[in-house]
Each structure stands twice: as structure tokens, then as C-alpha cells.
């Protein structure tokens, strides 16, 4: 079960990263010299792509955790919970995302240099965009880790005892087939009486009172 979850969560991570990479590449390609000036993409919009990536990955991962761990045959204990916590921390680690906007800005600077143009991040108030991005990333990743760990822990709680399950099944049967249930209950009562009184005594009742 744990290996299945690892495979699925890594697949979700790869798919979300690939989609975001395609969007970021469009922004990067839009940075060019148009003959009059060097066009720089909006850093706020670029930031939003990665924040959306984190949110999408969180939602899809939560759905997958719930789906797999809710299966009747799933068996998860403290060891598996610890392994899942480690995997979640790895996939939603701050270091994977914090420097992405800064790296994007550096790439824009290199592209500007290829046109013989100087790119000054201060002109575009990049420091403010980067600070806001880092705060958003930390908050989003922290929330994702908490929610996913809580989802995994939820399914590690003790399952319903078998005796309780049997009672629930019996109640459902009684509601669905009341007459059959009544007949079965009467049979149980009769069996209990025969068991407590004793079969010879019961047969003796039919033969008449005991002789003095």
C-alpha cells in the first residue's frame, strides 16, 4: 500500500510540475526586445503559476490519499504514517520552491544580455515581488503539509471492531427483512429455552406430569 501511494504521489508531483513548467516557459519566451524596449513579463503572474501548482498538487494528493487509505484492505500503522510524513515533507519542501522566482529573474537578465540590453530588477521592484512570493510559498507549503499529514493520520485511527460491524449488519438485515428476522429471533429464543431447561425435561412436559 505504501509503495502504491509513493508511486501515485510522485506521479502527481511530476504532472503538476510539468504543467507549470509549460506555463513558465511561455512567460520566459515573452521576454524579448521589440525594437524599442525589452519586454519583461509580470512577476506577479509568474508567481501565481507556482502558487497554483502547490495548491493543485495539494488537492490531488489529498484525493489520492483518501482514495487509497479508505480501501477496506488498506492497513496503515505508525511506521507507514512516519514514512508518509517523510514523503509529504519531501514533495512539499520549501527549498524546492523558494528560489524559483529569483532564478526566473536571473534567466530574464541573461536573455536581456543576449539582446545587448541591461536588465535592472530594481526598476521592476523585483524585491517586493520576490518577498511576497516567498511568503505565499511558505504559507501554501505549510498548509499543504499539515492537511496531508492530517489526512494520513485520520486513516490510521483504530478501525471499527468486528463485533460492532456484525451488529450493524444484523440491524440492516432486520430493517430489510422484518418477518424473516422475527422468525429467526423466535428460533433463537426456543433454542435458548431448550438449552437452559434441557431436552428431556421439555419432552417430559408432553408425556404428562412426573409420576409420584
The predicted pLDDT at position 203 comes to 45
**Spatial distance between the Cα atoms of 143 and 105, rounded to a whole number of angstroms:** 27
The predicted pLDDT at position 191 comes to 58
The predicted pLDDT at position 160 comes to 45
Please check whether residue 144 is in contact with residue 58, taking contact to mean a CB–CB distance below 8 angstroms: yes
The predicted pLDDT at position 14 comes to 97
The predicted pLDDT at position 79 comes to 84
- The residues of the chain scoring below 70 in pLDDT are 73-75, 156-212
Which tens digits make up the pLDDT trace of 22-74?
999 999 999 998 888 899 999 999 999 999 999 999 999 999 998 888 877 66
**Spatial distance between the Cα atoms of 164 and 159, rounded to a whole number of angstroms:** 10
- Residues facing residue 38 across a β-bridge: 33
Q: Which residues contact 23 (CB under 8 A, 6 or more apart)?
A: 49
The predicted pLDDT at position 178 comes to 64
The predicted pLDDT at position 89 comes to 96
Please check whether residue 23 is in contact with residue 49, taking contact to mean a CB–CB distance below 8 angstroms: yes
pTM: 0.71
Q: H or E segment at 33?
A: strand 32-33
Cell numbers representing residue 188 in the block = 433463537
Give percent of the chain with pLDDT exceeding 90: 53
Query: What are the two backbone dihedrals, phi and then psi, of residue 199, each rounded to the nearest 5 degrees?
Result: -65, -40
Amino acid at each position: 500500500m505504501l509503495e502504491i501511494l509513493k508511486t501515485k504521489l510522485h506521479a502527481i508531483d511530476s504532472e503538476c510540475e510539468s504543467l507549470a513548467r509549460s506555463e513558465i516557459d511561455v512567460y520566459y519566451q515573452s521576454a524579448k526586445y521589440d525594437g524599442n524596449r525589452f519586454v519583461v513579463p509580470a512577476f506577479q503572474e509568474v508567481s501565481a503559476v507556482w502558487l497554483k501548482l502547490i495548491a493543485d498538487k495539494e488537492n490531488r494528493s489529498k484525493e489520492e490519499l483518501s482514495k487509497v487509505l479508505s480501501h477496506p484492505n488498506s492497513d496503515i500503522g505508525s511506521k507507514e504514517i512516519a514514512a508518509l510524513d517523510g514523503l509529504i515533507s519531501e514533495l512539499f519542501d520549501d527549498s524546492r520552491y523558494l528560489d524559483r522566482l529569483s532564478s526566473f529573474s536571473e534567466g530574464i537578465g541573461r536573455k536581456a544580455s543576449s539582446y545587448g540590453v541591461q536588465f535592472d530588477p530594481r526598476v521592476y521592484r523585483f524585491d517586493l515581488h520576490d518577498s511576497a512570493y516567498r511568503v505565499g510559498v511558505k504559507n501554501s507549503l505549510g498548509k499543504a503539509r499539515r492537511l496531508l499529514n492530517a489526512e494520513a493520520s485520520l486513516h490510521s485511527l483504530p478501525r471499527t471492531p468486528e463485533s460492532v460491524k456484525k451488529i450493524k449488519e444484523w440491524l440492516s438485515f432486520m430493517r430489510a427483512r422484518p418477518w424473516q428476522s422475527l422468525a429467526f429471533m423466535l428460533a433463537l429464543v426456543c433454542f435458548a429455552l431448550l438449552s437452559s431447561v434441557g431436552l428431556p425435561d421439555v419432552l417430559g412436559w408432553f408425556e404428562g406430569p412426573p409420576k409420584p
